[in-house]
Structure 1
Amino acid sequence: MAEFMTGMKRTNYCGELRASDIGKTVTVCGWVQRQRDLGQLIFIDLRDRTGILQLAFNDATDRAIFDKAFSMRSEYVVAATGVVRERSSKNPELPTGDIELEVTDLRVLAKSETPPFEIVEKSNVKEDLRLKYRYLDLRRPDVQDKIIGRHKIVKVARDYFDDNGFFEIETPILIKSTPEGARDYLVPSRMFPGSFFALPQSPQLYKQLLMLSGFDRYMQVARCFRDEDLRADRQPEFTQIDFEMSFVSADDVMEIAEGFMKLVYKKVLGIDLETPFRRMTWDEAMTRFGSDKPDLRFGLELADLTADLKSTEFRVFKGAIDGGGGVRGINLKGLAEKLSRKEIDKLTEWIKSYGAKGLAWTRLTAGGETSSYEKFLAPEEAAAVRKTLGAETGDVLLIVASDENKVVFDSLGALRCELARRFDLIDKSKPCLLWVTDFPLFEYSKEENRFVAMHHPFTCPRLEDLDKLESDPGSVKAIAYDMVLNGNELGGGSIRINDPELQQRMFKALGLTPEEAQKRFGFLIDAFRYGAPPHGGMAFGLDRLVMLMLDCDSIRDVIAFPKVASSSELMSGAPTDVDEVQLAELGIAILPKDDNRTKEKQ
């Protein structure tokens, strides 16, 4: 039977005690990390969230307590009172390694079965097992450090925005479904049979309404939900540090965001960031790096070879250029001896997942030159390609051609990052932050056969592009900006539309009829008619920010109870079936699986 802490009160955490506390009587609580029986002496390493403290027991001092210590097993929960004393055998690897606790009272608060894995740092246990027993995994000190680090980052955020005049205001979790982009999670209503709430993909509409309401500056640590297709490092529920401001320009919003990043790096990691951050247009980012979230910690910039090959008869390159696309390449400088033909063949297969049909290459080794394409080019064309790519002996030239520029950019953008990781080309000495600006307002969706909003349909177009909104929507740029950290999108935002007529034009450009726009977003359009100030904002992905700042391998490492790639939770088994009575109350019937598949095919 478990004992109680009657007459005892924890006075200190295990990891707080030091040599300056020698002679003090203290009470500590925690979990048994391990027990060491040395015959007449027993030592227990006691662990709590702050660290480990050694407890010492001598059979000559108190036999009853000694026998109790003998019965201790890993992960028992105990409370111990005693006198802090100097250790005879010090442990320099522990902050508490100069001291130990000579125990005078020991109580077992809870016993433990043998856990399915050892509770130690840097465990090599499979992730699925750790997530099934996540409550045990969270006891590991390195995991706790990440969750505590997350807490510190959130605290800095709340304090920073409060100091800058922002109010933290909660927006609803049960909202109207306004599908545009990712799928909503739908919530049936028992009180309104056949009707559904949705879980918010972001607080976007409500924070805009708060600007209209006169609050001027809003922030929220907001929970968001997206029923997206499976991705290894995405979560169906995630957290944003969300903020919005009235009477501002894009520069004002970016300045506030930079101030937060500068403060949070200083407070949490002791790193001084230089501000303002570098800015780069979307066009430049795509042209030079093949990505709207470029990693600038290494080179491997893209080179446009289309002009060099405009008259080529080589079918692969000619077809790409004539089809409205292009030919671009990168130069892997000085690494021809390290990138074998076999490895290039593997990269050729790998890059096909980004839409490329293949990878053209030239290896310029000291022992000779080999190429997959030069024999098909005129000598002057091959020479022009080498010149544009700055080719020298020791280099590898890697080229992608496609009648879709997006395929070229996606493929080479991913390839440069893969090569940088593989050959350790990344400068990790300091964080690399920049802004990517002037995004296209729209992108064309082949699946939907229409233009869709690149960010969301409330983003304001550049004023100089307004006359092209209907006639040439693909060329319209947005007053939008993304913050990029080490090649990862950290957050994004925009100046919003605050004119109801312009908002209607935006919906029309997206293919919505006035009736459809009113049905989905009528409450917002109506609100704009009552005086909406110019406003803008952005949101940081908190989970990703914590992951990058704390140098974690996965976003799941910084979430207390994460989902896996299938959007399920291994620990609780969610999602699960529900009782037929609950379904009947909601007026919901579950189709057989075969019927579901039939519906999906239709």
Structure 2
Amino acid sequence: MHAYRSHTCAELTKSNVGETVRLSGWVNRIRDHGGVLFIDLRDHYGMTQVLCDPDSAVFSQVEKVRSEWCIRIDGEVKARDESLINPRITTGEIEVYIRDIEVLGASAELPLIVFGDQEYPEETRLRYRYLDLRREAMQRNMTLRSDVVASFRRRMWDKNFREFQTPIITASSPEGARDFLVPSRLHPGKFYALPQAPQQFKQLIMMSGFDKYFQIAPCFRDEDPRADRSPTDFYQLDMEMSFVTQQDIFDTISPVIAGVFEEHGQGAKVDDPASWPQIPYKEAALKYGTDKPDLRNPIEMQDVSEHFRGSGFAIFAKLLEQDGTEIRAIPAPTGGSRKFCDRMNSFAQKEGLPGMGYIFWRDQGEGMEAAGPLAKNIGPERTEAIREQLGLGVGDAAFFLGGKPSAFERVAGKARDVIGEELNLTEQNRFAFAWIVDFPIYEKDEENGAIDFEHNPFSMPQGGMEALEGDPLAVKGYQYDLACNGYEIVSGAIRNHKPEIMFKAFELAGYDEAEVRKRFGALVNAFQYGAPPHGGCAAGIDRIVMLLAGTSNIREVIMFPMNQRAEDLMMNAPSEPTSDQLMELGLRVIPQE
């Protein structure tokens, strides 16, 4: 017999009754039933109930066993009585009578209990991550993650992509976040960077004549943490193709994404890729207040500025006299009660706005009546025009925000989500996808008026060089994101492969040709030797697994994540270097005041 096990803790069935078996695993739970000790023995695969009575030669040894001890047992498989069968586990028809036991690893007092669903502070869970990972939910999440990565790989190979690895130690590249820098020992005073993405390398692979590339790529960005984003590193399905249009990218990656969600979505509805809408960025901002809309929620915001221009509601009327302002309405079907409207007004105040105006419509017996402060101020004619535009009726409401969209859009988008959830309008058990397209390439800094890249700097502008001769803020790129249930899960672009267009694009953002050649020399040089049109995208593995696992915290699907302060509590990172290390690298740490 094998030194540790003849079977896993999920394998034994009635067909094994009478056999002598060997199992190894962790003590999940111990129960004393009238002197008979029952142990739920757990390994990665499942659970088996083993037991020992006082007549056993090893009973005294079994009595000493505690939770999370790692043990090996030999024993005889017996069938459970019909009334004691446990249908919740695969081994529920049998139990194993212990004949011999060996303690492989005793456990100290546990800082967190593995058995059950007790809640613990995240700091405790991350400090003792190896114990936290023993829990059933975490085992399930990490298995899901592995299976999702394997599924992506299979699907990409099936589409004739080849997997290539790109460097981890490389040069700095602007990807919209801070680099992690790595000092060079051999070149004092110079630094490598951990790649924010394999952007330049995957383009260079296309320059090298490889038609289709993919990689499960680690990416490193020194970012402020969020619940749906790791503050240090993450993994993405990175892909690139030559001789393609934007639609070719969509047609290639959409069925891959949909297939993974269908395979691992636990029966949730997955929208057919052929039906995924392509929504211009500007339209997404207007209708949903975000470029990553949750389309399970049917609410679409609308511009209702004309109904308030010159109206009796002075706050909105005066706002509209300023350039670049508008009034936007959020319809709320079935939300027509003062209690709900007051609750949403409080929500806006908690988000930092003065509040949200509202109108709700109710049945007064002799007909419909519009209620709320706004309705009284603007009068019945304007109120009725708003109701008709929004398609609302008795029992419905509408909420209003005004000013420059950049000041209220984020809150409007969040309010739309909250309204959809609270009024049960958001469809559950569904994955709804949308391509967001026509992103602006540039944005203006409100404080100093400087033009900078709004999105990926390597994207081909729509209209090519001609588009760059006009207003930079009007230039749209062949850039696209895929949104699912309120999260961005894919981002990509058709690349700018013409040096003259690339120099002009960077010039508008304040980079002269010399700077571009210095920072992206390999790419610029490669473009001079017959560069093919190419494009691609990257899908966030962590975020996709988070959605499939039904959690909103990305740390639940990462094996060893950092905490909110970008610290590894288990490994004590970041840590202070030794004096010898600093001296070898030619570095000195300046103490922070």
| Greater displacement, 362-371 / 406-415 | 362-371
Query: How many Å separate the matches in 2 of 1:361 and 1:508?
Result: 46
1:491-530 matches, cutoff 5 A = 491-530=490-529
Task: Find the counterpart in structure 1 of residue 546 from structure 2.
Answer: 547
Task: Find the counterpart in structure 2 of residue 237 from structure 1.
Answer: 233
Task: Find the counterpart in structure 2 of residue 278 from structure 1.
Answer: 277
Is the aligned partner of 1:433 residue 2:430? Answer: no
Query: How many Å separate the matches in 2 of 1:460 and 1:490?
Result: 21
Task: Find the counterpart in structure 1 of residue 99 from structure 2.
Answer: 104
- What letter matches 1:300 in structure 2? I
Q: Relative to 1, partners in 2 of residues 1:341 and 1:274: Cα closer, same or farther, differing over 3 Å?
A: closer
Task: Find the counterpart in structure 1 of residue 71 from structure 2.
Answer: 78
- What letter matches 2:100 in structure 1? D
SS of the counterpart of 1:373?
helix
Task: Find the counterpart in structure 2 of residue 362 from structure 1.
Answer: 359
- What letter matches 2:90 in structure 1? P
Residue 221 of structure 1 deviates from its aligned partner by 0.7
Q: 2:245 aligned to 249, 272, 280, which one?
A: 249
Query: How many Å separate the matches in 2 of 1:447 and 1:190?
Result: 40
| Greater displacement, 437-446 / 550-559 | 437-446
Q: Is the 8 A contact 1:466 1:476 kept in 2?
A: no
1:61-140 matches, cutoff 5 A = 62-63=56-57, 65-88=58-81, 89-140=84-135
SS of the counterpart of 2:248?
helix
Task: Find the counterpart in structure 1 of residue 348 from structure 2.
Answer: 348
Q: 1:147 aligned to 134, 142, 147, which one?
A: 142
Task: Find the counterpart in structure 1 of residue 209 from structure 2.
Answer: 214
| Alpha-carbon displacement from aligned partner over 1:452-500 (angstroms, at most 9, x marks no partner) | 323211111113x642313211111211221111121111111111111
| Alpha-carbon displacement from aligned partner over 1:164-204 (angstroms, at most 9, x marks no partner) | 22111111111111335211111111111111111111110
Task: Find the counterpart in structure 1 of residue 155 from structure 2.
Answer: 160
Task: Find the counterpart in structure 2 of residue 597 from structure 1.
Answer: none
Query: How many Å separate the matches in 1 of 2:175 and 2:35?
Result: 71
Query: How many Å separate the matches in 1 of 2:586 and 2:448?
Result: 32
Q: Relative to 1, partners in 2 of residues 1:7 and 1:541: Cα closer, same or farther, differing over 3 Å?
A: closer
Task: Find the counterpart in structure 1 of residue 263 from structure 2.
Answer: 267
Q: Is the 8 A contact 2:70 2:103 kept in 1?
A: yes
Residue 448 of structure 1 deviates from its aligned partner by 6.2
- What letter matches 1:242 in structure 2? D
Q: Is the 8 A contact 2:440 2:455 kept in 1?
A: no
Taking structure 2 as the reference length, the TM-score comes to 0.93
Residue 376 of structure 1 deviates from its aligned partner by 4.2
| Alpha-carbon displacement from aligned partner over 1:482-523 (angstroms, at most 9, x marks no partner) | 111112111111111111111111111211111221221122
Residue 386 of structure 1 deviates from its aligned partner by 3.6
Q: Relative to 1, partners in 2 of residues 1:391 and 1:34: Cα closer, same or farther, differing over 3 Å?
A: closer
Residue 340 of structure 1 deviates from its aligned partner by 4.1
Query: How many Å separate the matches in 2 of 1:301 and 1:568?
Result: 40
- What letter matches 1:243 in structure 2? M
Q: Which runs of 5+ in 2 are unaligned?
A: none
Query: How many Å separate the matches in 2 of 1:166 and 1:16?
Result: 37
Q: 1:227 aligned to 201, 222, 225, which one?
A: 222
Query: How many Å separate the matches in 2 of 1:443 and 1:357?
Result: 27
Task: Find the counterpart in structure 2 of residue 535 from structure 1.
Answer: 534
SS of the counterpart of 1:118?
coil
Q: Is the 8 A contact 2:4 2:24 kept in 1?
A: no
Query: How many Å separate the matches in 2 of 1:273 and 1:22?
Result: 47
| Greater displacement, 13-22 / 372-381 | 372-381
Query: How many Å separate the matches in 2 of 1:448 and 1:127?
Result: 41
| Alpha-carbon displacement from aligned partner over 1:192-251 (angstroms, at most 9, x marks no partner) | 111111111111010000110111111111111111234343212111011111111112
Query: How many Å separate the matches in 2 of 1:360 and 1:67?
Result: 73
Task: Find the counterpart in structure 1 of residue 591 from structure 2.
Answer: 592
SS of the counterpart of 1:538?
strand
Task: Find the counterpart in structure 2 of residue 411 from structure 1.
Answer: 411
Task: Find the counterpart in structure 1 of residue 469 from structure 2.
Answer: 470
SS of the counterpart of 2:177?
coil
Q: Percent identity?
A: 36
Q: Is the 8 A contact 1:10 1:26 kept in 2?
A: yes
- What letter matches 1:248 in structure 2? V
| Alpha-carbon displacement from aligned partner over 1:369-428 (angstroms, at most 9, x marks no partner) | 6434344436544443343334433233211111x2233432211110122223332111
Is the aligned partner of 1:393 residue 2:388? Answer: no
| Matched length | 582
Q: Relative to 1, partners in 2 of residues 1:269 and 1:315: Cα closer, same or farther, differing over 3 Å?
A: closer
Q: Is the 8 A contact 2:491 2:539 kept in 1?
A: yes
Residue 102 of structure 1 deviates from its aligned partner by 1.9
Residue 294 of structure 1 deviates from its aligned partner by 1.2
Q: Is the 8 A contact 1:328 1:408 kept in 2?
A: no
Q: Relative to 1, partners in 2 of residues 1:121 and 1:59: Cα closer, same or farther, differing over 3 Å?
A: closer
Query: How many Å separate the matches in 1 of 2:116 and 2:533?
Result: 50
Query: How many Å separate the matches in 2 of 1:545 and 1:136?
Result: 25
Taking structure 1 as the reference length, the TM-score comes to 0.91
Query: How many Å separate the matches in 1 of 2:255 and 2:215?
Result: 17
Q: Is the 8 A contact 2:302 2:329 kept in 1?
A: yes
Query: How many Å separate the matches in 1 of 2:449 and 2:476?
Result: 20
Over aligned residues, Cα RMSD in angstroms? 2.2
Residue 257 of structure 1 deviates from its aligned partner by 0.9
Q: Is the 8 A contact 2:175 2:196 kept in 1?
A: no
| Greater displacement, 209-218 / 561-570 | 561-570
Residue 310 of structure 1 deviates from its aligned partner by 3.4
- What letter matches 1:164 in structure 2? K
Query: How many Å separate the matches in 1 of 2:492 and 2:187?
Result: 35
| Greater displacement, 236-245 / 514-523 | 514-523
Query: How many Å separate the matches in 2 of 1:410 and 1:473?
Result: 24
Residue 555 of structure 1 deviates from its aligned partner by 0.6
